[in-house]
Structure 1
Amino acid sequence: MGAVKSLFWFRGNHPAEEPQAARDGEAAEAQAAPAQEEPEGEAGEASGVGTSQVGHKRKASPEGHPAKVPRKKMAQAESRAIDESLFLRDENSDVKICAFEEEWCLHRAYLCRSGYFASMFSGAWLETNMNTIEMLMPDKNIDRESFHKTLGYLYTNSITIPPYRVIAYLATASMLQLDEIIQQCEEIMKVSVNVDTVCNFYYNAENYGVVSIRYICHQWFLDNLMIRQNSELLRGIGLDLMKELIASSDLLVIGVEIDVYTTLKKWMFLHLEPTWSGSQGALLTAADLYFDEYKNNSDGTPFLETDQGRAFGPVFQQLRLSYIICDLLSARIIEQDALIPAIWLTPVYKEQWLTLIRAEQSRELGPAEIYMSEIRGSSMRCGGQLHADEPYSWTWSGFNFGWDLVVCYTNRRIVFRRSALNKSCGLSVSLLWQRRVIFRLRVISLDRTGKAVLRKDTGYHILCLRRHQELEVVDLEGQELTFPMYVACNFLYIPEESGPSQSGELSRSPRK
C-alpha cells in the first residue's frame, strides 16, 4: 500500500493525548538519535538529514547559511511519520478489521479517533472485546479505497479527496462519524456543483444531512432548470424535487409558463423511457411522438389519469395554467397533447374569463395590497435573456389583461413602460387610463457552471402607471456585468375575489 498524503491539513484535530503506540515509537526514535544541535553559523551536514535526525540538525539555506528548523514542527512531522508507519506496517496491532474481502491490522487507540469505533470499543457491544471485527457496508457509496484512505486519516490526520470521488468519502466519513472529513467534503462539493454533479450532490447531501449543500443545489436547480437542461439532468430529478421546483415563484422562467409545461413533458418522457438516447434537440420531438402514440391508441383518457401517468399528476398540478390558456397557441398545445385532464382545465377557463371581464369592466385598478401567500402561488412567471450590453425591450403577449407593459433595458437600466406603441401586445390592450400591478424583478448572471455571479432582486412592490408613463426599476450602473444576463419577472395583475363589494357590476344579482 502506498503512503497516504493530503492536500488539506486539519488543525486541532489530534486527541488531547497521543495514543500509546505513537508515544512508544517516538521514544524509541529519540533514543536511537539523541539531539545534537550545532552552534549557529557553522556549516553543517544538514542537506542529507535522515528520518532519525529530523528536528535535530539544521539545513543550510540557499545562501549557504544554516537555517533553523523549529523543533515543534519537526516533532509533528516525526510523529506523523511514525503514525503512518504504524498504519502501513501493522506494527503492534491489537485489532483486525475485515471488510471488502481484505484485512487491516490496526490499533484501537487510533481507531477511537472515530466516533463509530470509539462507541464500539467502549460500550456493551459484541465487538467491544473482539480482536477481529467483520464489517458489512450497508451503504453502497462506501468502497474499498475510501474506507482505506479514511482509516489512514485516523493515523495521519490528513487525506486527499478527489472531487469526482467526494460522495464515497462523504459516505465513509458519515458512517465513521468523522466531522473533519465531512466538512472537507462539504467544501469540495460547494465549488463543484454543476449540471453533471448537481443531482448526485443534492440527493446525497439530503441522505447525509449536509444542509448547506442541499440548499446550494436547490438554488442551482431554480436558477438553471429552464436554461441548462439536458437529458441526464432531467432524468436525475425525482418527482418530489420537481414538484418543489415547479411550485416555486423563484424558478427562473425564461419565456413564459408554457415553457415550464414543455420542460415537464420532456422530463416525464425521460422517466417513462429511461433508456432513450438522442440529442437535446431531438428530445421534444421524441416526447411528442411518444404521447401522440398513446393518444391514438387510447380511449380518450388524459395521460395523467392513466396508471402510467398518475404518479406525475401532482407535479403537473403545480403549473400555473391560467397563464397558459390565455394565449391561443399555448392553449392549443395543451388541448392537442391531451396530457392534462379537462376537469383541471374547465375551472381555469371560467376563472380566466371572469378575470378578463373584471379587468376591463370593474372599477378596480388592480391589487392594492401585497399578500405574500397569494403571490407565491399565483403570480405570472416570465423572463427574457440579454445577450449583450445593448438596448433591448420585450412584452409578453397574451398576458395583457388590460396591461400594456413593456420591459426595456437601456443604459444599464431596466425600465417598465406602459405603452403599446409599436409593440405587439395581443388584441386586448386596455384603454383604462391607469392600472396597478404587483411585480418583482430579478437580474441574474451565471458563470459556466451555473453559479450566480450577479443577483439583484427588487422584492415585491405595487406598480401604478398611467398610459405612456415609465418607471426605472433597476439601475446596474457600476456593476460588473456578465452576459448572457437573465431578467425574470413575477406579476400579479388582478387581486383575488374577496367579496361582493370588490366585484362591481359583476356582483349584482340578475333582475327578474
Structure 2
Amino acid sequence: MGNVMHKISSPIQAMRGKKRKREDDDSDGNEDNSDLLDRSMATPKRKKLISTAKYIYQALFKEERNSDITVHALGKVWHLHKVYLSQSPYFATMFNGSWREADEDYVHIEIVDPKITIESLFSVFGSLYMDEVVLEPREIVSILATATLFQLDSLIDRCAEVMIETTNAETAVKYYEAACEYGVKSVKLSTFNWLLVNLLSLYYKTGKWLRLINIELMELLVASPDLYVMQTELSLYTLLRFWTYLKLHVTNDAECEKASSSDDPLQYFAQRQSSLAFLDTPKGRPFVKCFRALRLHNLLNHHVDIKVLKQDNIIPSEWLNEPLFQQWNSMLLIDQSLDKGPKEVDDKLFLDTCIRCGRTLPENEYLKWRWTGFNFGLDLILISDTKTLRVKRHHRTENERLLSLQVKRQFLIRVSVASLNELRQIKHQQTSAIQSIALDKNEEAMLIMFDKELTYPLLISVNMLVVSPSRKSANPAIVGSPTAGPSTARPLKQPRDIASDEESLDASGNNTTVDS
C-alpha cells in the first residue's frame, strides 16, 4: 500500500513543485521589470529645445522686441540688446566702462573699413543671438572684417575655417590680403602655400587672376625656395614679364582676356625705343624688388635665355655681370677638376641658391625627361616609374666633349611632390630631405618613393645645386615666407618626354631626348 501511495503522490508533488517554481520565476521577473522601470524613471533625459535659439533670434533680433540699445551704423538702425551685444569685447567695454554709452540707449558706430557692409553687420549682429552661424564664402571677407572690428574671436576662427576650405584660383589672393590686413595667420599661411603651388602651374595662363597679385606678395613668391617652378627658372622670368605688363596696362577682366590672347605683352618691352633698361625707368622702379628676387645666375644656363634677357632689356645689364662671372668661374673650376660638386652646404645657403625646376606628371605611367640648360657637364635625367622618382647621370661617349669627364660628380637635390583636389588645394604633399648624391657615369640614384596617398596628376618640384656655391651667390632679395607669360623664343610649356630616338646634346645641353 505504501508503495502504491508513493507512486500516486509523486506526480502531485512534482506538479506542486513546478507550480512553485513558475511562481518564483514570475516573482523574479516582476521584480526585475520593476527595478528597470524605476531606474528608467529616475534617469534624467536631456533633450535640446531646437526652437529656443530660433525663437530668440526671431523675436529679439529680427522683430527687435524689448530692445534696450539702438545701434546706428552705415546709415542703418538696429534695435538690439546689451546683454547679447556684450558677448563682444568691443561692446562690453563700451557698456561697462566709463564710456558715455554705458548709460545711454543709443550708439553710433563710425565704420571706416570699406570691406564692412550692411549685410556683414546684419550677419555678425545676428550671430550673437544664435548658437550657429551661416557663412557665405562670397561674403566671408566682409564678415571677417566686421568680426575683427567687434573682436569676436570665435567668429574669426569660423571665418578662417571657411576661407581655408574655399581657397581657389579666384579667392586665393583676396583671402591672402584679408589675412594680412586682419592678422589671421592660418589663412595667410594656407593661401601663400596655395599660391606657391599654383602660380606657375595655373596663374600664368589666366591674366585676370595673375594681375591681382600685388608687388609685395609677388616678391615673396618669386624668392621662395618652395615655389613650384614649372619647367625652369626662365618660366618665372616670363611670368614676371607678363605680370608687369598687366600691372601697367590692364584695369579690368576684358582687357586681361585681350592681353592674354595677343602678342602685346611679349613685344612691349623689346619694342621700347629707349636704350635704358626698363627697371631703370620711372615706370619700372616699383617692380625692381620683384626682379631682384629672381635667381639671376639660374637664368644664364642657356644661350636662348640670355638672348631673351637682352632683347627684352628689362633687367639692367650690370645686374648680370656678377652672376655671369660666377657661372664662368664655376665652369672653369669643374673643367679643371677643382670642383666636383657640393658635398656639405647648410640648408639656408642651399635653399637660397639652388635652381628650381618642375613639371606635371599627368598620368600614372613611366616617364623620362631632362630640364633644358647647361648643368656644368652633368646630363641629368629624371625617371618616374609610377612608384618612385630616380635621377640618372646620362653619359654617352659621343657627347664627351660636352660632358664632365670626372668619374664621380656630386650634387645636392630636394624633391617635393603634391596631389591637388578640384580646387587645386594640396590633398597630399611629400618632400624629401636635402640629399647629397654622388654618381658615376650612367649611374642612377633613388630620389623619393611616392606615398600611397598621392594621386595623379602629380606636381613635381625639384631644388638642385650642381656646383659649390659662394656666399656671395645667395640671393639678397630673399626675405622669407609670410611666416618668418610665355616667351616668344621659348614658350612656357611642359618639357618633352625623352623618346627612344637619339639626339646629340648641343653646347648648352638644351635637347630633351636621348637614347633610353
CA deviations 1:258-297 (Å, max 9, x no partner) are 100001001111111132624488357221232234x22x
After TM superposition, give the deviation of residue 485 of structure 1 in Å.
1.3
* 1:78 matched to 2:56: no
TM-score by length of 2: 0.78
The total of aligned residue pairs comes to 426
* 1:143 matched to 2:117: yes
**Match of 1:482?**
455
Q: Contact 2:416–2:461 (CA<8 Å) still a contact in 1?
A: yes
After TM superposition, give the deviation of residue 176 of structure 1 in Å.
1.3
Query: Alignment partner for residue 176 of structure 2, among 195, 202, 223?
Result: 202
CA deviations 1:340-387 (Å, max 9, x no partner) are 001101222122111111111133311121212211211011122212
Q: Contact 1:146–1:169 (CA<8 Å) still a contact in 2?
A: yes
* 1:161 matched to 2:161: no
Cα 1:170–1:258 shift into 2, 3 Å: same
Cα 1:88–1:306 shift into 2, 3 Å: same
Deviates more, 1:397-406 or 1:302-311: 397-406
Residue type of the alignment partner of 2:260: A
Query: Alignment partner for residue 243 of structure 2, among 261, 264, 267?
Result: 267
**Match of 1:100?**
74
**Separation in structure 2 between the aligned mates of residue 362 and residue 280 of structure 1, nearest angstrom:** 52
**Match of 2:217?**
241
**Match of 2:297?**
322
Equivalences for residues 341-356 of structure 1 within 5 A: 341-356=316-331
Q: Contact 1:323–1:399 (CA<8 Å) still a contact in 2?
A: no
**Match of 1:63?**
none
TM-score by length of 1: 0.79
Cα 1:314–1:332 shift into 2, 3 Å: same
3-state SS, counterpart of residue 374 of structure 2: coil
Q: CA RMSD in A?
A: 2.4
Query: Alignment partner for residue 155 of structure 2, among 160, 181, 205?
Result: 181
**Match of 1:403?**
378
Cα 1:342–1:189 shift into 2, 3 Å: same
* Structure 1: stretches of 5+ with no match in the other structure: 1-67, 500-512
Query: Alignment partner for residue 107 of structure 2, among 125, 133, 136?
Result: 133
Query: Alignment partner for residue 363 of structure 2, among 373, 385, 388?
Result: 388
3-state SS, counterpart of residue 201 of structure 1: helix
After TM superposition, give the deviation of residue 482 of structure 1 in Å.
2.5
**Separation in structure 2 between the aligned mates of residue 268 and residue 136 of structure 1, nearest angstrom:** 38
**Match of 1:310?**
285
Cα 1:445–1:126 shift into 2, 3 Å: same
If you compute each CA radius of gyration, which structure gives the higher value, 1 or 2?
2
CA deviations 1:374-420 (Å, max 9, x no partner) are 11211011122212112111112323202121111125221111113
Cα 1:227–1:426 shift into 2, 3 Å: farther
Residue type of the alignment partner of 2:269: F
**Separation in structure 1 between the aligned mates of residue 400 and residue 257 of structure 2, nearest angstrom:** 35
**Separation in structure 1 between the aligned mates of residue 397 and residue 264 of structure 2, nearest angstrom:** 38
Q: Contact 2:64–2:80 (CA<8 Å) still a contact in 1?
A: yes
Residue type of the alignment partner of 2:87: R
Residue type of the alignment partner of 2:182: Y
Residue type of the alignment partner of 1:286: D
* 1:448 matched to 2:422: yes
Q: Contact 2:250–2:256 (CA<8 Å) still a contact in 1?
A: no
After TM superposition, give the deviation of residue 337 of structure 1 in Å.
0.3
Residue type of the alignment partner of 1:254: M
After TM superposition, give the deviation of residue 226 of structure 1 in Å.
0.4
After TM superposition, give the deviation of residue 134 of structure 1 in Å.
1.5
* 1:285 matched to 2:269: no
**Match of 2:35?**
none
CA deviations 1:217-261 (Å, max 9, x no partner) are 010011110011021222111111111111111100110011000
**Match of 1:231?**
207
Residue type of the alignment partner of 2:267: L
Cα 1:431–1:308 shift into 2, 3 Å: same
3-state SS, counterpart of residue 455 of structure 1: strand
Cα 1:79–1:301 shift into 2, 3 Å: closer
**Separation in structure 1 between the aligned mates of residue 397 and residue 337 of structure 2, nearest angstrom:** 28
Residue type of the alignment partner of 2:200: M
**Separation in structure 1 between the aligned mates of residue 92 and residue 307 of structure 2, nearest angstrom:** 65
Cα 1:290–1:364 shift into 2, 3 Å: closer
Provide the identity percentage. 31
**Separation in structure 2 between the aligned mates of residue 450 and residue 149 of structure 1, nearest angstrom:** 29
Residue type of the alignment partner of 1:350: F
**Separation in structure 2 between the aligned mates of residue 69 and residue 173 of structure 1, nearest angstrom:** 38
**Separation in structure 1 between the aligned mates of residue 225 and residue 134 of structure 2, nearest angstrom:** 40
**Separation in structure 2 between the aligned mates of residue 426 and residue 173 of structure 1, nearest angstrom:** 66
